[in-house]
């Protein structure tokens, strides 16, 4: 995983990979018991990568994430009880918080303009805080990502992109959906991991 040289570690992460896995397993079991009032998107196999990345993210930084976001919320300091209750109430894809600044969207690329606007606002105000925007390999192929990436780079905005590549565009392999993956743009943090859960819900992933 490539971490840009200008980034420095700013905090210790107290959560272990097993802490993250145990939380997600609790969500899975609760969902399978029929006690969650909406869809869920579970993660696994990217615990080590996210723990490494969040050592570079200040607790005061702004974090924008897509729908598979429970690990990110926990690592950024969202209270685990509050997070779990929010998921049970059906807000797994919308785990938004003001303290810490943590925002999610279930729309492909939906967080990108928001992250860009937040970064522009921080620069305008002279803040030393940074925006972190996590996207998948599918979203990296979209036009909104390229426009926002170019704007942020050209105007030197405090916006760090992170691409989480699971080789899938929802239920379709990304290369099948887009023909061919493009290269990772300069300065973008990128890592690959293998999906264990289906796109949403639980059970076994089956790709026809």
- CA distance linking residue 168 with residue 203, whole number of Å: 17
The answer on pLDDT for 157 being more than 60 is yes
Q: Per-residue pLDDT tens for 47-56? A: 999 999 999 9
The answer on pLDDT for 4 being more than 90 is yes
Assign 94 a pLDDT band (cuts: 50, 70, 90).
confident
Domain ranges of the chain: 17-192
Residue 193 or residue 23, greater confidence: 23
| Residues listed for the chain | 208
Rounded to the nearest 5°, which phi and psi values hold at 76? -90, -5
pLDDT at site 27? 96
Q: Per-residue pLDDT tens for 29-83? A: 999 999 998 889 899 999 999 999 999 999 999 999 998 899 999 999 999 999 9
The answer on pLDDT for 171 being more than 60 is yes
For domain 17-192, give the fold: Rossmann fold (3.40.50)
Average pLDDT over residues 141-147: 91
């Amino acid at each position: 995983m490539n971490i840009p040289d200008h980034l420095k570690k700013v905090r210790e992460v107290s959560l272990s990979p097993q802490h993250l896995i145990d939380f997600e397993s609790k969500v899975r079991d609760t969902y399978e018991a029929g006690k969650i009032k909406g869809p869920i998107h579970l993660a696994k196999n990217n615990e080590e990568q996210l723990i490494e990345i969040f050592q570079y993210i200040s607790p005061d930084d702004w974090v924008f994430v897509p729908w598979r976001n429970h690990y990110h919320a926990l690592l950024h300091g969202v209270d685990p009880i509050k997070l779990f209750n929010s998921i049970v109430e059906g807000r797994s894809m919308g785990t938004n918080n003001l303290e810490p600044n943590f925002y999610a969207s279930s729309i492909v690329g939906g967080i990108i303009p928001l992250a860009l606007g937040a970064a522009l606002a921080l620069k305008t105000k002279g803040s030393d805080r940074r925006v972190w925007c996590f996207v998948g390999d599918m979203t990296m192929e979209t036009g909104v990502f390229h426009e926002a990436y170019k704007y942020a780079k050209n105007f030197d905005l405090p916006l760090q992109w992170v691409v989480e590549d699971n080789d899938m565009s929802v239920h379709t392999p990304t290369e099948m959906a887009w023909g061919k993956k493009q290269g990772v743009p300069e300065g973008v943090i990128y890592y690959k991991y293998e999906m264990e859960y289906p796109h949403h819900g639980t059970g076994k992933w089956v790709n026809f």
